[in-house]
Structure 1
Amino acid sequence: MPLARKNNIGIIARVPLDEGSLSGTFTHKTTFNDWRKDYFTSDRLKITIDKVSGIKNKLVNEKRTMSQIALKFCLLKNGADVVIVGMRNSNHVTENVKSVDVSFTKEELDYLVKQRWIRNFYPEDV
């Protein structure tokens, strides 16, 4: 991202809700009947849910949802310029637009930065 910023190149965040996991609605019993069954294989769903649950427990409150937190984090000063987020109904649109008003304390932001993890959930042959 620093190289993009240096060269005045915009950044688009694709899949900012991590295929729905950062909406905070998945549980350990969630099953998928679509392509996500290949994305969240083995213990990957458990790892993801455990990580998201920690963030939810610490940061979600009556003023902000997990989706709003995830979207706002993507759009912070040194993050993406635009997010491409899937929305399945008008409630999702309303909720996601409100992410613009979300703010974080320094401590909350430091916590979120520490929660970031890099992983490739796709099989090696994809």
Structure 2
Amino acid sequence: MNKNQLGSSDLYVSEIGFGSMSLPQNEKEAIYLVEKAIDEGINFIDTADLYDFGRIEEVLGKALKGKREKVILTTKAGNHWEPGRDGWYWDPSKAYIKEAVKKSLMRLKTDYIDLYQLHGGTIDDPIDETIDAFEELKQEGVIRHYGISSIRPNVIREYVKRSTIVSVLMQYSILDRRPEEEMLALLKENNISVIARGPVAKGILSDGGLDKISDRGFLDYNKDELQQLFGEYKKASDPNRSLSQTAIRYCLSHPAVASAIPGASKESQLLENVNTVNTPELSSDELKAIHNLSKANTYKQHR
């Protein structure tokens, strides 16, 4: 599998990563899936302390026993949960980030994190304090590099200007082309890589996607539009790829994107994701057709 350099870092990540949020509840099945992903050539595993209140990190800690050096491991922080308090709350303070990383390290059973990410962020955050926390963790050897997970243009711009982030994890797909308007070019110019999450748009951009379309639609597409697009998209797709493979290839076609991280809750989904690397890249005609069929969405908030 091809590996791409993550920004200006010394990390080289597989172009197909492994998003762990949808791991099965059964621990044995979850561990098997992680081990299978590594066996299939994936070296980039993404998680977060938020996922199932830390359970996913614990599962990964068990699955990576004896395999830690084979993977580029990334997790996230910034969402704070306290027993007795109703729900998670946003906390990008230095004190919390430095507390959260210790807990993630324990759950993941590792003494370092390759890429530590801020799991969100607003323009009203104490951004310099947050950056200081990540920089100190780098100096202490607890993390190798850091990035942010965000779809807020105003926040992304501040971190581009004020920090040494090597990546931005953002939602990007044929149905969510918002990053193309301005973010992808900005990040590419600053040698900051994009990690594309949600490349198959909650399963809508897959062969069984018609059944995944909800009455609420998706972003600025209503249900009827999605159903129509699905049929047209299927006609335009290369028969040598499944729809999800075309969707993943679409994300990877932009030079700013280092890795796409589709989720997988079963082996068949994982193998379909991995086998994307054995399918042809999108032709210029396919890209043009996709652009003509889909909407050039734009970020309307957080400007």
Normalising by structure 1, we get a TM-score of 0.74
Say whether residues 1:54 and 2:232 are aligned partners. yes
Instruction: From the superposition, tell whether residues 73 and 79 of structure 1 become closer, same or farther in structure 2 (CA, over 3 Å).
Output: farther
Q: State the match for 1:13 in structure 2.
A: 196
Determine if contact 1:72/1:99 at 8 Å carries over to the other structure.
yes
- Bigger Cα Rg: 2
Q: Which has the higher helix share?
A: 1
Instruction: From the superposition, tell whether residues 39 and 48 of structure 1 become closer, same or farther in structure 2 (CA, over 3 Å).
Output: closer
Separation of aligned partners in 1, 2:250 and 2:218: 23
- Aligned-residue offset at 1:22: 0.5
Q: 76-85 or 9-18, which moves further after superposition?
A: 76-85
User: Residue 86 of structure 1 aligns to a residue in which SS?
Assistant: coil
Match of 1:96 among 259, 273, 296: 273
Q: In the alignment, residue 17 of structure 1 is paired with which amino acid?
A: V
- Aligned-residue offset at 1:92: 0.8
Normalising by structure 2, we get a TM-score of 0.33
Q: State the match for 2:262 in structure 1.
A: 85
Q: State the match for 1:107 in structure 2.
A: 285
Q: State the match for 2:294 in structure 1.
A: 116
- Aligned-residue offset at 1:114: 2.3
Q: Which runs of 5+ in 1 are unaligned?
A: 121-126
Aligned length: 113
Separation of aligned partners in 2, 1:31 and 1:83: 20
- Runs (4 or more) in structure 1 with deviation over 6 Å come to none
- Aligned-residue offset at 1:39: 5.6
Instruction: From the superposition, tell whether residues 11 and 37 of structure 1 become closer, same or farther in structure 2 (CA, over 3 Å).
Output: same
- Aligned-residue offset at 1:66: 0.0
Q: Which has the higher strand share?
A: 2
Q: State the match for 2:208 in structure 1.
A: 25
Instruction: From the superposition, tell whether residues 81 and 50 of structure 1 become closer, same or farther in structure 2 (CA, over 3 Å).
Output: same
User: Residue 103 of structure 1 aligns to a residue in which SS?
Assistant: coil
Separation of aligned partners in 2, 1:26 and 1:46: 13
Q: Percent of counterpart pairs with the same letter? A: 24
Deviations, residues 41-99 of structure 1 (Å, cap 9, x unaligned)? 9x8222112112201112141x2100000000100143522122111211111111121
Instruction: From the superposition, tell whether residues 119 and 21 of structure 1 become closer, same or farther in structure 2 (CA, over 3 Å).
Output: farther
Determine if contact 2:185/2:256 at 8 Å carries over to the other structure.
no
Separation of aligned partners in 2, 1:15 and 1:38: 17
